[in-house]
Amino acid sequence: MTRRSDLLLDPHHHASDLPKGIKLLHDPLLNKGTAFSQAERDSLGIHGLLPPRLFTQDEQVTRVMENVRRKPNNLEKYIYMIGLQDRNETLFYRVLVENLAELMPIIYTPTVGQACMEYGEIFRRARGLFITKYDRGHIREIMRNWPNEDVRMIVVTDGERILGLGDLGANGMGIPVGKLSLYTGCAGIHPAYTLPITLDVGTNNETLRNDPLYIGLQEPRLRGPEYDALIEEFIEAATEVFPRAVVQLEDFGNSNAFRLLTKYRDQVCLFDDDIQGTAAVVVAGLFSAMRITGGTFADHRFLFVGAGQANLGAGELLVLAMVSQGMSEKEARERCWFVDSTGLMVSSRTDLSAQKRPFAHEAPFLKTPLEAVEFVKPTALIGAAGQAKMFPEAVIRAMGKLNDRPIIFALSNPTSNSECSAEEAYTYTEGRAIFASGSPFPPFTYNGKTFVPGQGNNSYIFPGVGLGLIASNATRVPEEMFLVAAQTLAKEVAQEDLDLGRIYPPLNRVRDVSAKIAEAVANIAYRDGLTADKKPADLAEHIKNIMFQPVYQDYV
């Protein structure tokens, strides 16, 4: 009997192996809708189950985009696209790949944040696996309920820190679903390889717990040894049932994210995109900015506003980047300063976590970002505080006074949480800022010059990293992989991008960029013996050949 995964991954489907009739039309990875040929309709038992006119995939794409564009708001566009994904994944990804710049803000940030907040209201059809604390002792059996046997990429969340929106519990499933859509759309990882998982351990969001439409456990969030035991069983089950899978941790709370990454990163093929993927996209943006400002990291000072997973991860990777340029670790850390929710992180403070303490320096305690800017005199200001307007006019003007080309990254998602807008950054620095944001901002014209803001989106990094891990069958994910991913991304920024103020390549190039990142990541796996596979003679061609192309196959 042909395994479902083998069937889905075979580029030459055989009619004798396919499900027949309505069952075929209800399989989103095999369904072609109105594009089934007459011969296919006859041989597969679907004659009469579809309208008689045959449409090409190009014509279907046109219909989809016309429908998307007539929707009244982005949430309705999201609902429509998720519905298409549930019906016809090949068409969904064809539409996504060809319209990435337009649809990524719908499929992922910022719209996915609103979708998660309203997940109970817009829920149509379950995707992925939901595992609860009551499933202890049975997680392996639950994972074997998943229909595809050869899973290679798992994105898992416990819903505690969804974007900048906080604890959304089981409603956070929208994030793993959206993230895996980008793995396929941005890097060509076959959708049959992907599995979104939510660990529903309750929620401390009382509004959700009292919501009659909430889809998760209406209980307080699980903590302590019981939580750790659930995670332990999940990791063991995932690696046993899907031995070639990469596990990506997503949107765990600060209290768990760092310690889970530290505990498991040397045991299984696992990484945390909020910590490491964000770090790589930040460092890539800084590498690109250096091409505008000149000099090296040794000529710069960096002030991070926000000391959660994103910025602490970025600080650690930036230190690694500076060390790779010949600096000592001590010197590198001295160039990185942080403001957390209390104020400047200084060595006299006794309230700093283990992750924060390496970035605490001898200095007076200062409470506000403006005071910190005036004291540290940074060349780069990097915000990931999850709180809107942390860079008010006074802070931006101070950066402009200190620097000819101030680097200002406002990375918090969604757009409503951005530290400042592109318009504010350019206006208050007289058009001199090198700006990037987490969610997209439109082009802005100042004094006759049009700037195209770069979006420091993790989708430039994690899809390529995942593709490289899968292509090489890597068993671990060392930090150096994220450094080479950042360096590779920065090299893909053309001079014409920099001339527009854009420090990341345009999104329509992301699949090519992901392939190059995958090659760099896989090379580390082969070099360091992190795989039992032999390196292909032409690694770039190998990666290209395994990338999923969203075009229909002939079934007869």
Query: Which tens digit of pLDDT belongs to each residue from 3-40?
Result: 777 778 877 777 788 999 999 999 999 999 999 999 99
Quick one: pLDDT at residue 155?
98
Q: What is the CATH number of the domain that holds 449?
A: 3.40.50.720
Q: Is the pLDDT of residue 534 over 80?
A: yes
Q: Do both 67 and 21 map to the same domain?
A: no
Q: Do both 84 and 169 map to the same domain?
A: yes
Would residue 219 count as lying in a domain? yes
Q: Do both 51 and 63 map to the same domain?
A: no
As a whole number of angstroms, the distance between CA 196 and CA 313 comes to: 23
Q: Is the pLDDT of residue 542 over 70?
A: yes
Q: Do both 282 and 383 map to the same domain?
A: yes
Query: Among 459, 493, 517, where does a domain finish?
Result: 459
What's the half-sphere exposure (Cβ side, CA atoms, 13 Å) at 405? Answer: 14
Quick one: pLDDT at residue 541?
98
Quick one: pLDDT at residue 48?
97
Q: Is the pLDDT of residue 418 over 60?
A: yes
Quick one: pLDDT at residue 496?
96
CA 429 to mean position of chain CA atoms:
30
Would residue 533 count as lying in a domain? no
CA 459 to mean position of chain CA atoms:
5
Encode burial over 406-436: b for 16+ CB neighbours within 10 A, e otherwise. Answer: bbbbbbbbbbebbbbbbbbbbbbbebbbbbb
Query: Among 405, 431, 459, where does a domain finish?
Result: 459
Quick one: pLDDT at residue 10?
78
**C-beta of residue 381 within 8 angstroms of C-beta of residue 424:** no
Q: Do both 263 and 303 map to the same domain?
A: no
Would residue 529 count as lying in a domain? no
**C-beta of residue 396 within 8 angstroms of C-beta of residue 428:** yes
Catalytic residue among 77, 93, 119, 179: 179
pLDDT band per the 50, 70, 90 thresholds, residue 2: low
Q: Is the pLDDT of residue 468 over 60?
A: yes
**C-beta of residue 398 within 8 angstroms of C-beta of residue 374:** yes
Which residues constitute the domain of residue 177? 59-268
Per the rule left: phi > 0, alpha: psi between -120 and 50, beta: everything else, 365 is: beta
Q: Do both 110 and 31 map to the same domain?
A: no
As a whole number of angstroms, the distance between CA 399 and CA 416 comes to: 22
- The pLDDT of 353-358, averaged and rounded, is 95
Q: Is 108 designated active site?
A: yes
Strand arrangement of the beta sheet that strand 153-157 belongs to: 129-132, 194-200, 153-157, 246-249, 270-272
The whole-model pTM stands at 0.96
Would residue 513 count as lying in a domain? no
Would residue 538 count as lying in a domain? no
CB-CB neighbours of 14 under 10 Å:
11
Q: Is the pLDDT of residue 441 over 60?
A: yes
pLDDT band per the 50, 70, 90 thresholds, residue 237: very high
- What confidence tens digit (pLDDT) does each residue in 169-194 have? 999 999 999 999 999 999 999 999 99
Q: Do both 234 and 287 map to the same domain?
A: no
The per-residue pLDDT of the chain, averaged, comes to: 96
Catalytic residue among 32, 78, 93, 108: 108
Q: Do both 182 and 287 map to the same domain?
A: no
- What confidence tens digit (pLDDT) does each residue in 136-152 have? 999 999 999 999 999 99
Q: Do both 45 and 69 map to the same domain?
A: no
Would residue 548 count as lying in a domain? no
Q: Do both 21 and 94 map to the same domain?
A: no
Would residue 506 count as lying in a domain? no
Would residue 103 count as lying in a domain? yes
E-strand ranges in 208-292 read 246-249, 270-272
As a whole number of angstroms, the distance between CA 431 and CA 409 comes to: 15
Q: What is the CATH number of the domain that holds 222?
A: 3.40.50.10380
Judging by beta carbons within 10 Å of its beta carbon (0-12, 13-18, 19+), is residue 162 exposed, middle or buried?
buried
- What confidence tens digit (pLDDT) does each residue in 335-352 have? 999 999 999 999 999 999
Virtual CA dihedral for 8, 11, 14, 15, nearest 10 degrees?
70
- Of 308, 267, 311, 281, the closest CA to residue 463 belongs to 281
- The pLDDT of 519-526, averaged and rounded, is 98
- What confidence tens digit (pLDDT) does each residue in 53-110 have? 999 999 999 999 999 999 999 999 999 999 999 999 999 999 999 999 999 999 998 8
Q: Is 179 designated active site?
A: yes
CA 156 to mean position of chain CA atoms:
12
Q: Do both 210 and 108 map to the same domain?
A: yes
* Angstrom distances, CA of residue 516 to CA of 57, 154, 182, 199, 465: 29, 22, 16, 33, 10
Quick one: pLDDT at residue 1?
52
Quick one: pLDDT at residue 110?
86
Q: Do both 414 and 357 map to the same domain?
A: yes
Query: Among 459, 489, 516, where does a domain finish?
Result: 459
What total of structural domains would you count in the chain?
3
As a whole number of angstroms, the distance between CA 134 and CA 233 comes to: 12
The alpha carbon dihedral of 432, 436, 441, 443 has a sign of: positive
